[in-house]
A = this chain, B = another copy of it.
């Protein structure tokens, strides 16, 4: 495959994701007043047993730097969505835990987001195609494991 074609094919992926993210974030903002990174954090926490995770783990999930996530977590806490508390086993660690309010928002926003994806994605792709898509993307994601220099 030629260089140009390769770049173009992947460019389509990037454009599509940017487009969906844009409308999805608008949607989340209107209905639940949360940004996409906020939604991702709430979703990750709501899917974790105990509804809590370390700062570092959450930071990685949204591709934030350590320092950047500290300030992001400050805002989440100010908004009453999460609560921080120290880990007793390892006192360097701080847990970030979903509040009752955070849990409620996560559920509402998930339903909202799923509806949007249904409209925007499944009007264009079959269920089978979406699964194929997921399979390919998982393979790519898994091959990009941090610091795997081939």
Q: Which of A114-150 contact B (CB under 8 A)?
A: 114, 117-125, 127, 129-134, 136-141, 143-144, 150
Q: Are B120 and A143 in contact (CB under 8 A)?
A: yes
CB-defined contacts of A123 to chain B, threshold 8 Å: 143, 150
A13-31 interface mask toward B, CB cutoff 8 Å, 1 = contact, 0 = none?
1111111111100000000
Copies of this protein in the assembly total 2
Give complex CA distance A150, B123 in Å. 10
Q: A136: which of B3, B10, B125 is its contact (CB, 8 Å)?
A: B125
Q: Are A13 and B17 in contact (CB under 8 A)?
A: yes
Give complex CA distance A139, B127 in Å. 15
State whether the Cβ of A65 lies closer than 8 Å to any Cβ in chain B.
Answer: no
Give complex CA distance A4, B138 in Å. 16
Q: Are A119 and B16 in contact (CB under 8 A)?
A: no
Q: Are B12 and A141 in contact (CB under 8 A)?
A: yes
Given A3-B114, A13-B13, 6 more contacts at CB 8 Å? A10-B134, A12-B133, A12-B138, A13-B134, A22-B144, A133-B136
